[in-house]
Structure formats: structure tokens, C-alpha cells
Amino acid sequence: MLPEPMKKSGRSIPIREHRKPTTRPAWTEGRFPILGLLGCLVLGLCLASCALNSGANSDPTATPPLSMATVMAQSAATRAEATPDVPQVALSLKESDVQIEPLPLRAGTPFSVTATIHNHSGLNAEAVPVYLFISAVQEEIGFSPFVQVLTVTVPATQSMGVILPVHWNLQGGEHELWLQVNKVPDAWQSRLPAQPEADLSDNGVLLNLLIDPFDAYTSELCSGRTDVEIRPEDVLPEPDNQRVMVRVRNVGNQAVYNVPVVVLGNQLSGIAYTPVIPPCGGTVALYVEVDRPFSPGQSLTVMVNPADWEGSLAEDDWGNNQVTVDAGLAPGMVVPAGSGLDDYDFRITSADIETPETGMVMVTVHNQGTRDAAMVPIRIENAAGRKINDVIPLVQGNGQGVVAISVGYLWTQGGTLTFTVNPEDAKEGYPETHRDNNVATFTLP
């Protein structure tokens, strides 16, 4: 039943009649508006994304999103993998791997150091430095240590022996030897850099060397206890000077000194005493002045260490101690070859001088004589007149001797140094006939 019409102010207000809506475009009829459709689509995508994220967070096995730090770390690791590490060597050297010969070591005598280097890596150890350093425990003024550095290549997983010759006049006494492989002082790294290696604790050894001092008084090179001799060719009379030159030979194995040399003739005599004569062929030349003049052709008897002389040395062979000669040699005659004054004949040239380091010179002196010479004096002088006096511990007969001398006091770039071996005015020099080859000059780099 319909309600009665409402009444207001005495008037009746009828219910408005439903009218047909205004006509719209045909494309909107019966469909949602396009904007609404798009909005629903966006809303649906958002809801789906949230659902996915929610599901991912609830799954413990899901991979969480990467942070920026993690991404950068992973990138650095990738770059490191692209650049491989530098291969490292694995070398070792121990005391039992070092051999020194010949033994015993003698002052001034060359020797060699042999080192066996082990390569524990599967890679070749290419151009690794080997460093050898020898120095005296108590160094004297003018002493120079021996330093040698070279490079070697040790095959993979193998051991290799390296021979290092020591051509040096090391003086007698206690020395220390450092031998290191792939391990050099920092000052050498620019020239001979070491290879990468994880453990360097087994790359070097330190040895004590005891070097026997040069002994000019005893030798094992010849037999016999004491034996001096004189030959006819060892006597050179000088009638005009009223003297006789005599050469005395020591063929025993012990040095002799203060040995009497006696010259006897017709109503004349003379005596002189020898200085120290080294063993095993050592000789000394001396002059015996006689108390009366003698003429050419006069017979002279020369004796060394006469057996009936009071206090004479006991010898193994007395039969070679006396000769008789005629004083028939012309005055001023030169000493013939082989007369004994060629025992020492030193020679030095500019080619024998090197500069291994700034302020250091290495000098090789040759001895064309037959006898070894110990502590041979050498003098070095620059253009300003400054001098350094040093010695060569040993110069072998028919051989050579090498010495290193610090000349920083004389060093001037491009300057000239003059080297004189066995100077005539040296206090402890050697008798020498030919001195024209005892001086050499050298221009510093």
C-alpha cells in the first residue's frame, strides 16, 4: 500500500516521476569507463607485486636482495681472478750444501766456494741472485772485503751446484763468509732484484773461515831440514870494485838467515852474512867485500855456511856449499840470465786495474820472477800528490796477486791515478832488476 502523499504547508508535494536518462555515446554503454579500467589494472599489479615480495620474504631459501657493498666486493673479487698472482720461487741453501777447497786456506792463495741450491717449486727459478761476502773479523787499515754477485737459473724441483771462485788476497786470520741465494742487500735490489718468495729463512748460511797467514819460513813443497847451496854461476867477481857478488840458494824446507858467506883468495879474504832466505828455492844476492885487491884470472874460493864454522847450521847436504872460480870476468859485465836476480820481477799495466765500485780499485800484479813474494808494497797517487801506501799479501812466482784497495781519499771523477808496485824507496821492498814495468796510470770513470 502506498503511503499517502506528504503534506506541507497545505500543499501536496507529489513524488517525481522517473524519467529516461539523457542519451550517452554508444561506446560507453554497458562498459566501464576506460580510466577506471586502467586504475584497476595498476592496482592489480601492485597487489601482485606485494604478494610476490611477501612470499619471497616468507621463504627461508630465497636469495635476499644484494647490497651495494656486496656488489662492489664481488666486482673486486672478479677483477682479482682475472689477474693471476705472480709465481713464487721456493729455494733453500744450508750449511752442508757449501764446500770450500782447497783446504787448508792460505793467505793470498785463491780458492773456490761451491754451493748446492735446491728448488722445491714446480717452476724454474729464473735469474735469481747469488750473493757472496767475505770479511775479516778484525779488519786492518786498508783491508777490503770480497764481494761477488751473480745470477743463476735453477730448474724446477732440482738442485744445482754453483761455483764461485775467490781470486783474492785475503790475509791470514779469522774471516766470516755470508752466502745467500735470492736474498741480497737493499742496495743491490735495483741491479739484481730478488724473486718473490714466501720463506727466506733458509736461503743463506754464515760460515767461519780460518785462513793461515802467509809463512815465508816453512814450506811443505820440498824435503830436507836445512840445505843451502852455491853454484859456479852464482859467483860474479868485480875486481875493480874489490868485491864479489854471491847468490845463495836455499833448497831446504825451512828459512835460513844470518848465514856466513866467505870469500878466500891469495892473501885476501872477506865475509858477509845473508838476510832471511825463503825455503824451497829462495835466493838472496849479496856483495862480499875483500880486504885486498885482486886481479882478473885470480882463483877465488867461495863458501856458504862452512861446516867447520863455529855456530854453523846443521845441514842435510854439505857437498854443495863451496865453489872455486877464476876472477877473469871483465869489469862492468852485466848479470847473466838465470843469475838469481830474476827472483822478483813485478809488472803492472792499466789493463790490470778495475773499479768494481765507486771509491774502490782492484789491482792485479804479475810476478815474472820465480819466487813468491809476500806483502809486496804498492803505492797509489793522484794528480794532487795525495798518496796511499798499501801491500799485496801475496804475489806468486810466475803468477800474480790481486788486491782491492779503497781509494775514496784520492777519488775524483775523471782523475788520473798512478800505481807503483814495489817502489824503490819502499822500506820493505824487494830486490828487483827490471823496474821499467812497475808503474801504470789509470783514469777514473
Give the chain's domains with CATH numbers: 91-211 (2.60.40.10), 228-327 (2.60.40), 346-443 (2.60.40.10)
**What number of other Cβ atoms are within 10 A of residue 116's Cβ?**
15
Instruction: Please give the average per-residue pLDDT across 41-46, as a whole number.
Output: 54
- CB neighbour class for 202 (10 Å; exposed up to 12, middle 13-18, buried from 19): middle
pLDDT tier at 387 (50, 70, 90 boundaries)? Answer: very high
Query: What type of residue is 17?
Result: E
Residue found by looking up cell 783446504 in the block: 103
pTM of the model: 0.47
In the predicted model, is pLDDT for residue 311 greater than 60? yes
pLDDT at site 19: 46
In the predicted model, is pLDDT for residue 60 greater than 60? no
pLDDT tier at 301 (50, 70, 90 boundaries)? Answer: very high
- Give the phi and the psi of residue 273 in degrees, each rounded to 5: -120, 145
Return the closest-CA partner of residue 180 out of 221, 141, 129, 145: 129
In the predicted model, is pLDDT for residue 108 greater than 50? yes
Return the closest-CA partner of residue 194 out of 148, 135, 125: 125
Instruction: Please give the average per-residue pLDDT across 7-19, as a whole number.
Output: 41
- Give the phi and the psi of residue 251 in degrees, each rounded to 5: -100, 5
Residues in the chain: 445
The rounded distance, in Å, linking the Cα atoms of 393 and 373 is 8
In the predicted model, is pLDDT for residue 65 greater than 80? no
Q: What percent of the chain has pLDDT over 70?
A: 72
pLDDT tier at 298 (50, 70, 90 boundaries)? Answer: confident
Q: What are the pLDDT digits (tens) for 159-195?
A: 999 999 887 767 778 999 999 999 888 777 777 788 8
Instruction: Please give the average per-residue pLDDT across 416-442, as a whole number.
Output: 90
pLDDT at site 143: 64
Highest mean pLDDT among 217-226, 329-338, 360-369, 395-404: 360-369
CA pseudo-torsion sign 338, 341, 344, 345: negative
Residue found by looking up cell 812497475 in the block: 438
Q: How far is CA 301 from the centre of its chain?
A: 57
CB-facing half-sphere around the CA of 105: CA atoms within 13 A = 23
Coil, strand or helix at 43: helix
Instruction: Please give the average per-residue pLDDT across 267-277, as a whole number.
Output: 90
The rounded distance, in Å, linking the Cα atoms of 107 and 374 is 9
pLDDT tier at 30 (50, 70, 90 boundaries)? Answer: very low
